[in-house]
Amino acid sequence: MPELNRRPVASLWIGSRLHYLNQLCLKSHVVAGHPTILYCTDEVHNAPDGVEIRPASEIFDIDMSLVAKTSASFLSNVFRYKMIRKTGAIWIDCDAFCHRPFPEEDAYIFGEHSYRGALNCGVIGLPQQCDVMDQLLDYYDNLPDYPPWWGKRQRKKMDEQNNNLSHAARIYATERTAFGPQAFTHFAKVTGIFDQARPREALYPVPFQLNDVFYDPFGRVEGHFTDETLSVHLYTNGTRRWWRKHVPEQGSYAARMCEKVGIDPALALED
Give the range among 23-32, 62-71, 199-208 with minimum mean pLDDT.
62-71
pTM: 0.95
Residue 100 has pLDDT above 80, yes or no: yes
- Tell me the sheet residues that pair with 198: 111
Dihedral pair phi/psi, residue 36, rounded to 5°: -120, 120
233 CB-near residues (< 8 Å, 6+ apart): 93, 95, 96, 97, 113, 120, 122, 123, 203, 204, 206, 208
Mean of pLDDT values over 184-212: 95
Mode of pairing for the β-strands spanning 119-125 and 90-92: antiparallel
What pLDDT does 125 receive?
Answer: 98
- Neighbouring CB atoms inside 10 A of 77's CB total 22
CATH architecture group of domain 9-267: Alpha-Beta Complex (3.90)
Label residues 111-131 b or e (16+ Cβ within 10 Å = b).
bbbeeeebbbbbbbbbeeebe
Share of the chain above pLDDT 90, in %: 79
What's the CA angle centered on 177, arms 173 and 179, to 5 degrees?
A: 90
Q: What pLDDT sits at residue 115?
A: 67
Q: pLDDT, tens digit, for every residue of 106-152?
A: 999 999 987 677 899 999 999 999 999 999 999 999 999 999 999 99
User: Per-residue pLDDT for 240 more than 80?
Assistant: no
Q: What is the pLDDT of residue 261?
A: 97
pLDDT of residue 239: 78
Distance separating alpha carbons of residues 186 and 178, to the nearest angstrom: 10
